[in-house]
Structure 1
Amino acid sequence: MRQDRIGFIGLGNMGARMTRRLVDAGIAVLGLDRDPARPAAAGAQTAGSIKEVVDFADLVMLSLPDSHAVESVVEGQDGILAHARAGQTVVDLSTAAASSTIRLHGLLAARGVRYIDAGISGGAAAAEKGTLTLMIGGEPEAIEAVRWAFAPISSKALNMGASGAGHTTKLLNNFLNAVSLAATAEVMVAGKKAGLDLHQLLDVLNSSSGVNFATLNRFPSIVDGNYLEGGLTSKLMTKDVVLYIERARELGVASLNGSGPLASFGLATALGYGEMISNKVVDAIGDVSGGIRLHQPQGDRA
């Protein structure tokens, strides 16, 4: 496998940042996106079709919104399956349904193409720094053969098992992320209404049993009006929770805690925050709790 070039499909919020890391590592990247300006903005060459991407490199990476988009790119009339050649590898960095991933793995394997699912975590900041965590599923030898491509974008790349294991792990992680973010948002609105100093409240939480990723890494900025733009939107968070619940159903696991984050991020979407970063869920909860905002705009301060 040539280790100096990669085809990359989907250069959105995360894909563009990963592409930039690959390019800066000296790898030639041919990118394809619905927005034809995105590949060049990320430092990549611009492809005009999936066929061009597949013809360009032995390794093709995908970073797409959901399984429907992945299936369209792989199985579409002019998709990867139509043009792939034996010996190629496709790495899916999307957040996708494990059942779809496993099915696509089988279709591509029949053509002699390796398909690896690699869920990512860390958000936009980690993507820019190349410190993402990768949760990988697929054959061990296939994964080892592409670790050179993971190195510029991640600080941790863990083989979680067979096909679908990476995307399953990603859904488990994202569900906990959704629960902690939604629950902490509710707690912070309650703290604001109670007249508590929010930085002191966070200090208590972060040294007590309520500590979580949101209290440690999100709300110290949010309470000062910095929503840490660039991460997962409320619509995408809702999609991930739904995927988790469906995966739990497939595994025969009772999902008793799915309703909370579904309601919270569904509320955010209904109130117009759907395309905004999911941290805005705190404003949605604040809206229905009396118009509460955690931070006070500069002009409103005494």
Structure 2
Amino acid sequence: MKVSFIGLGVMGTGMAFNLAKGEKEGEYEYLVCDANPAALEQFNTQGINTTTNILDTADSDYLFLCLPDLEIVKKVIVGENGVLQHMEPGQKIVDFSTISYLGAVEIAETCKENGIEYMDCPISGHPRTTVEGTLTIMCGGDEELFHTIKPMLDRMGEQILYMGDNGAGQLTKMINNCVLNICCASFSELLPVGVKLGLDPEKLGDVLMTATGSSFASKTLIPKVLEGNFEHSFSLERAYKDMESMNEVLMKYQIPLPTLNGTMQTYQLALQNGQGDFYKHAMIRYFENLLGVKVRKKSYQEAEAELVN
């Protein structure tokens, strides 16, 4: 049996290393692929087979993908030089990429027409959890295929959930991301208001990280706001695109979600303010500029004042 993994980015690298354990234990032949030769170097040093040509993976019994967006996923699978036209009926594609619900359903239908089973399995976690193998993986597709691949998924994730038919994994991930985005927008709007009216940024931040208004977003991102740290591998612009994908579903099924629509407007303000390349909590800088305040630790503000002087 041959297993391949395409996409060795921030999230894919750790996952691909964990999946390689199956070859070491004699369960399958294994190959990793990425268009960037530099991404393959650490795999080569570990004696893992590598390639920059996606067509070398087309004979895989199980082909795993972890790619940046829908456009690249389509290019790799159904594009003019994609793997699908070189695959045989009965082979399986397992896609960890975060793409739209409607896009996943479309790819699954195309694969099915060619006798290939496709399962959308988007992930939730951080680069550290990919290395630890403790991701949450949400799966949509054939349930029998899910149970077949679950031992391999268990190498990469801790919470492995079968959510339903094709697209169900992506829909679950989209809902999760939108809830996170809403939480982030709420404290980004309200923290500057408190500081404008005289509240201490650190004490207010402590409340929002521990009291009833707390969330994963506040606990994770408010400390970064207070430190003036807005760098992250996943940009605000990409977070907005997740909501765009959800909005496509809402328009198709005529579902009104005013809270999500309001959050999208908050993100639009931040994007127009030039925050798109930073992480989503950078949207707070729009409201800081609007109110003429900074939501920062006292030590950060003192250091900033020294630089100015």
What is the TM-score of this pair, normalised by structure 1?
A: 0.87
Residue 268 of structure 1 aligns to a residue in which SS? helix
Aligned positions, number? 297
Inter-partner Cα distance in structure 1 for 2:5 and 2:254: 35
Residue of structure 1 in register with 2:7 after alignment: 10
Inter-partner Cα distance in structure 1 for 2:267 and 2:3: 35
Residue 259 of structure 2 aligns to a residue in which SS? coil
Report the more deviating stretch, 5-14 or 127-136: 5-14
Is the contact between residue 23 and residue 30 of structure 2 (CA under 8 Å) also seen in structure 1?
A: no
Q: Which residue of 39, 50, 57 corresponds with 1:46?
A: 50
Residue 121 of structure 2 aligns to a residue in which SS? strand
Residue of structure 1 in register with 2:212 after alignment: 209
Inter-partner Cα distance in structure 1 for 2:293 and 2:51: 47
Residue of structure 2 in register with 1:265 after alignment: 267
- Please tell me whether Structure 1 or Structure 2 has the larger radius of gyration of its CA atoms: 2
Deviation at 1:301, TM superposition (A): 6.8
Residues 233-252 of structure 1: CA deviation (Å, up to 9, x unaligned): 11110100111111122233
Deviation at 1:169, TM superposition (A): 0.7
Compared with structure 1, are the counterparts of its residues 157 and 254 closer, same or farther at alpha carbon in structure 2 (3 Å cutoff)?
same
Residue of structure 2 in register with 1:32 after alignment: 33
Residue of structure 2 in register with 1:20 after alignment: 17
> Residue type matched to 1:266 in 2?
Q
Task: After TM superposition, list the pairs within 5 Å mapping 1:63-212 onto structure 2.
Answer: 63-212=66-215
Inter-partner Cα distance in structure 1 for 2:271 and 2:253: 29
Q: Which residue of 266, 277, 280 corresponds with 1:278?
A: 280
Q: Which runs of 5+ in 2 are unaligned?
A: none
Residue of structure 2 in register with 1:233 after alignment: 235
Q: Which runs of 5+ in 1 are unaligned?
A: none
Compared with structure 1, are the counterparts of its residues 58 and 230 closer, same or farther at alpha carbon in structure 2 (3 Å cutoff)?
farther
Deviation at 1:24, TM superposition (A): 5.6
Deviation at 1:13, TM superposition (A): 2.2
What is the TM-score of this pair, normalised by structure 2?
A: 0.85
Q: Which residue of 210, 220, 225 corresponds with 2:223?
A: 220
Inter-partner Cα distance in structure 1 for 2:18 and 2:188: 33
Inter-partner Cα distance in structure 1 for 2:171 and 2:146: 17
Inter-partner Cα distance in structure 2 for 1:267 and 1:190: 17
Cα RMSD for the two superposed structures: 2.5
Compared with structure 1, are the counterparts of its residues 85 and 181 closer, same or farther at alpha carbon in structure 2 (3 Å cutoff)?
same
Is the contact between residue 121 and residue 169 of structure 2 (CA under 8 Å) also seen in structure 1?
A: yes
Deviation at 1:170, TM superposition (A): 0.8
Inter-partner Cα distance in structure 1 for 2:289 and 2:21: 43
Is the contact between residue 120 and residue 133 of structure 1 (CA under 8 Å) also seen in structure 2?
A: yes
Task: After TM superposition, list the pairs within 5 Å mapping 1:246-265 onto structure 2.
Answer: 246-265=248-267
Deviation at 1:84, TM superposition (A): 1.4
Residues 169-202 of structure 1: CA deviation (Å, up to 9, x unaligned): 1111111111111111222222333332334323
Inter-partner Cα distance in structure 1 for 2:114 and 2:147: 20
Inter-partner Cα distance in structure 2 for 1:61 and 1:73: 11
Residue 97 of structure 2 aligns to a residue in which SS? coil
Compared with structure 1, are the counterparts of its residues 192 and 123 closer, same or farther at alpha carbon in structure 2 (3 Å cutoff)?
farther
Identity over aligned pairs, percent: 28
> Residue type matched to 2:18 in 1?
R
Inter-partner Cα distance in structure 1 for 2:35 and 2:273: 28
Deviation at 1:9, TM superposition (A): 2.1
Residue 77 of structure 1 aligns to a residue in which SS? coil
Inter-partner Cα distance in structure 1 for 2:207 and 2:98: 34
Report the more deviating stretch, 83-92 or 250-259: 250-259
Report the more deviating stretch, 172-181 or 9-18: 9-18
Is the contact between residue 124 and residue 230 of structure 1 (CA under 8 Å) also seen in structure 2?
A: no
Inter-partner Cα distance in structure 1 for 2:229 and 2:128: 14
Compared with structure 1, are the counterparts of its residues 231 and 261 closer, same or farther at alpha carbon in structure 2 (3 Å cutoff)?
farther
Residue 160 of structure 1 aligns to a residue in which SS? strand
> Residue type matched to 1:120 in 2?
I
Compared with structure 1, are the counterparts of its residues 235 and 45 closer, same or farther at alpha carbon in structure 2 (3 Å cutoff)?
farther
Compared with structure 1, are the counterparts of its residues 54 and 118 closer, same or farther at alpha carbon in structure 2 (3 Å cutoff)?
same
Compared with structure 1, are the counterparts of its residues 193 and 94 closer, same or farther at alpha carbon in structure 2 (3 Å cutoff)?
same
Deviation at 1:12, TM superposition (A): 2.1
